[in-house]
Amino acid sequence: MKTETTIQGLTASLAPARTTKKLIGFVPTMGNLHEGHLTLVRAAKKICDVVVVSIFVNPIQFGAGEDFDSYPRTLEQDSRLLADVGCDIIFAPSVEQMYGKHPRLTNISVSQITNDLCGESRPGHFDGVAVVVTKLFNIVQPDYAFFGQKDYQQLAVIRQLVQDLNIPLEVIGVPIVRAADGLALSSRNGYLSEEERIAAPTIYQLLKQAEAALGEGQALSQVLANISIELTQVGFVVDYVEARQPNLQPIEQFDRDLVLFVAAKLGSTRLIDNLQIDFKI
């Protein structure tokens, strides 16, 4: 496994794979890797010849007062984990390498599907994601790119971006990896105190209860309100509890497949989760 920190170095490392037309898989991450990230790498290994994992804490997707400075940077530990799952190349550029050369005058904004959910509470976040992912796609030029359904709205934004801008690659979505108690794995879980970590799986428990309640015919508005109330009772500050069609459009018909979304803060840690509900009627 190689680690490259410059665009030039990465291009040189990938040159043999490109000339021999090997399939290149790409997994963008911000590091502090866990089993969720490693599952993306394993999915990439299954269908690609060469797998590149980027580790880059992207400053322009963090808002003022968010955790850019404190975000865990654990490159050595990440490298060991990636070597174990057969990653071929780590791309770990500096902020200077990604943004330093020229002042950036281009922004990329995916409209509509970024207007609500995390887009509403994190203004500019998805623009920052769209810019960095487009830059990384152009640098790596992969055949396949792998993203987690944990960040469901992000995955939708990237699919839209790839379609709208004719970026020549296929986006693969990978299901959420959870801890044994149901908490969706996230680098931000490390911020939780012992007490908060015990409360955190409530999000998933309530999503599963909501699924059962909807199956029994309870009204969606009531089910969503209950999640909010119960999260507040165990100490969360709820950002949103929403339901959307799988394409993120508003629900039109109640008995169609839908996705439940939760974002809530425990102390200063913002957690997100979602659950896809397939109505089998």
CB 222 → ligand AMP: shortest distance, Å? 29
Return the residue of 98, 148, 236, 244 that touches ligand AMP, per CB under 6 A.
Answer: 148
Annotated binding residue at 34? yes
Annotated binding residue at 153? no
CB 30 → ligand AMP: shortest distance, Å? 4
3-state secondary structure the chain: CEEECCHHHHHHHHHHHHHCCCCEEEEEECCCCCHHHHHHHHHHHHHCCEEEEEECCCHHHCCCCCCCCCCCCCHHHHHHHHHHCCCCEEECCCHHHHHCCCCCCCCCCCCCCCCCCHHHHCCCHHHHHHHHHHHHHHHHCCCEEEEEHHHHHHHHHHHHHHHHCCCCCEEEEECCCECCCCCECCHHHHHCCHHHHHHCCHHHHHHHHHHHHHHCCCCHHHHHHHHHHHHHHCCCEEEEEEEECCCCCCCCCCCCCEEEEEEEEECCEEEEEEEEECCCC
Return the residue of 14, 30, 82, 214 that touches ligand AMP, per CB under 6 A.
Answer: 30
Which residues does the annotation mark as catalytic? Answer: 37
- Region from 7-15, 35-43, 93-101, 226-234 binding ligand AMP, contact rule CB under 6 A: 35-43
Task: Report the residue number, 143 or 151, with the smaller CB distance to ligand AMP.
Answer: 151
Task: Report the residue number, 174 or 248, with the smaller CB distance to ligand AMP.
Answer: 174
278 burial level (CB within 10 Å; 0-12, 13-18, 19+): exposed
Annotated binding residue at 150? yes
150 is a site residue for ligand AMP (CB under 6 A): yes
Annotated binding residue at 125? no
CB 16 → ligand AMP: shortest distance, Å? 27
Return the residue of 54, 114, 160, 186 that touches ligand AMP, per CB under 6 A.
Answer: 186
174 is a site residue for ligand AMP (CB under 6 A): yes
CB 121 → ligand AMP: shortest distance, Å? 17
Q: Which residues are annotated as a binding site for beta-alanine?
A: 61
Q: Which residues are annotated as a binding site for (R)-pantoate?
A: 61, 154
Q: Which residues bind ligand AMP (CB under 6 A)?
A: 29-30, 36-37, 39-40, 147-148, 150-151, 174, 176-177, 184-187
Q: Which residues are annotated as a binding site for ATP?
A: 30-37, 148-151, 177, 185-188
